[in-house]
Amino acid sequence: MSLLIRLLQALALLLFVGAATAEHTSNWAVLVSTSRFWFNYRHLANVLSLYRTVKRLGIPDSQIILMLPDDMACNPRNAFPGTVYSNADRAVDLYGDNIEVDYRGYEVTVENFIRLLTDRLDEDVPRSKRLGSDAGSNVLVYMTGHGGDQFLKFQDAEEIGAWDLADAFGQMWEKKRYHELLFMIDTCQANTMYTHFYSPNIVATGSSELDQSSYSHHADNDVGVAVIDRWTYYVLEFLETQVTSANSKLTLGDLFDSYDMSKIHSQPGVRWDLFPGGEQEGRLRTVVDFFGNVQNVEIENANATDPGSLKEDLAEIARLVEKWRKRDEEYSAILGNSSQSQSEGAQSHTVQLSSKKPVGATKMAEAGSWGKRLVGLSVVGACTAVWVAGSILGRSA
């Protein structure tokens, strides 16, 4: 019997080996807009649209890093305060009730972005501002802004080079911070940004080739500025109309095939060569591998009896608790004074649980003015004495 099970297991193993290597355990998204000011409304709208999509497909806020360098919703020039739209029909308010911006305003810098990717952050940076991905995480990196040949401008003040980005991804790979990575960029000459990548398991796609501009899709006359970029618009159109649920089986190949140059007005690019198996293998990845979230909830069957199941564990834990209580009682019996020992026992249990004592504020003593004045007088006196002595000595010399 057991032999048969072994055999079956081995068979199952053979079947699953392929799937096991392709599987990831979590999804992270890093969505970055790099430009501020009102006329760059569309870049923030791009990012917010994508944010909405990945959230819809199940990536929780805690696994989305959203970087917005400006606040369009509260811009005084916004005719619709508190809202951001990516379409002139203004059907969906992207700002909505629930957006969690992790890096905003002047926090969106090249340095912070690279630190985020490589996790070289201060110890006290909260977890919500960190990319907590690991070797099992699929990471989506989306960037938009104004760029040029092998650079992307951040905030009008600085720029990130294609080399910096490649090195950051290289370091992520070294430290096993991603399983597979989808890099998307919508900017002028976007495809130049991924030319220097060298770490494996990256699929990169951009909106336009070298010496090509990326264009905005349309403007909203009431908002007064362009509200979305073309490439992002058509990517979103695909995601919104075709990838309707987190169980969608559409692949990256389908997504990239949907690029239509006559609509986008620039030549989008895709880079496959870093992906193991190249284009052939990469095309098979589903869109929700990157835009969705894996969450395999495991229900505990209260009636199962196999080893490690809930029931058996419960019995073991109950025994442990029982034993512990006995020890406690013995301990208190030894001590005699039960109440005192209880608290002490509690203390010994919670050695690991007790938190650090907060550092208290320093007490400010009220001015001991006379003491200080005495010090002052003596200092002035000493200086004067030296001075007078100096005058006498100096003159005599």
For residue 139, the SS3 value is strand
Q: Does 128 bind other proteins (CB under 8 A)?
A: yes
Residues paired with 28 in a beta bridge: 139
Considering only 301, 338, 340, 384, the residue that binds other proteins (CB under 8 A) is 301
In whole angstroms, the minimum distance from the beta carbon of 122 to other proteins comes to 6
Q: Does 339 bind other proteins (CB under 8 A)?
A: no
- Cα distance between residue 388 and residue 397, in whole Å: 14
Q: Does 337 bind other proteins (CB under 8 A)?
A: no
229 vs 289, beta carbon nearer other proteins:
289
Residues paired with 216 in a beta bridge: 229
Q: Does 376 bind other proteins (CB under 8 A)?
A: yes
- Cα distance between residue 170 and residue 168, in whole Å: 5
Q: Does 385 bind other proteins (CB under 8 A)?
A: no
Considering only the stretches 81-89, 181-189, 231-239, 302-310, report the one whose residues sit in contact with other proteins under the rule CB under 8 A: 302-310
Identify the helix (H) or strand (E) that includes residue 11: helix 2-22
Task: Looking at residues 26 to 45 of the shown chain, list those that interact with other proteins (rule: CB under 8 A).
Answer: 26
Q: Does 200 bind other proteins (CB under 8 A)?
A: no
Task: Looking at residues 57 to 96 of the shown chain, list those that interact with other proteins (rule: CB under 8 A).
Answer: 58, 60-62
Report, in angstroms and rounded to the nearest whole number, the Rg of the chain calculated over CA atoms: 31
| CB 206, CB 191: distance < 8 Å | yes
Task: Looking at residues 91 to 110 of the shown chain, list those that interact with other proteins (rule: CB under 8 A).
Answer: 98, 110
Question: Per-residue contact track with other proteins, 229 to 248, x per CB under 8 A?
Answer: --------------------
In whole angstroms, the minimum distance from the beta carbon of 292 to other proteins comes to 11
Instruction: Tell which residue, 126, 233, 218, has the closest CA to residue 186.
Output: 233
In whole angstroms, the minimum distance from the beta carbon of 355 to other proteins comes to 6
* Inter-CA distances, 281 with 93, 204, 250, 276, 312, Å: 37, 14, 14, 7, 43
320 vs 333, beta carbon nearer other proteins:
320
23 vs 279, beta carbon nearer other proteins:
23
In sequence order, what are the residues at sequence separation of 6 or more whose Cβ sits closer than 8 angstroms to the Cβ of residue 212?
188, 189, 266, 267
Q: Which residue, chain included where needed, has tokens 């909405």?
A: 52
97 vs 262, beta carbon nearer other proteins:
97
- Cα distance between residue 116 and residue 133, in whole Å: 11
Q: Does 387 bind other proteins (CB under 8 A)?
A: yes
Does the active-site annotation cover 43?
no
In whole angstroms, the minimum distance from the beta carbon of 234 to other proteins comes to 25
Q: Does 20 bind other proteins (CB under 8 A)?
A: yes
Q: Does 11 bind other proteins (CB under 8 A)?
A: no
| CB 42, CB 76: distance < 8 Å | no
Does the active-site annotation cover 146?
yes
- End-to-end CA distance of the chain: give it in Å, rounded: 113
Considering only 278, 379, 384, 385, the residue that binds other proteins (CB under 8 A) is 379
CB atoms within 10 A of CB 334: 8
177 vs 230, beta carbon nearer other proteins:
177
- Cα distance between residue 340 and residue 219, in whole Å: 74
In whole angstroms, the minimum distance from the beta carbon of 233 to other proteins comes to 24
Task: Looking at residues 158 to 197 of the shown chain, list those that interact with other proteins (rule: CB under 8 A).
Answer: 161, 163-164, 167, 170-171, 174-176
Query: What single DSSP character describes residue 70?
Result: S
Q: Does 361 bind other proteins (CB under 8 A)?
A: no
Q: Does 254 bind other proteins (CB under 8 A)?
A: no
| CB 28, CB 139: distance < 8 Å | yes
Number of amino acids touching other proteins (CB under 8 A): 100
Phi, then psi, of 128 in degrees rounded to 5: -70, -20
Q: Does 334 bind other proteins (CB under 8 A)?
A: no
Q: Does 323 bind other proteins (CB under 8 A)?
A: yes
Task: Looking at residues 136 to 165 of the shown chain, list those that interact with other proteins (rule: CB under 8 A).
Answer: 136, 161, 163-164
CB atoms within 10 A of CB 89: 8
**Residues classed as catalytic:** 146, 188
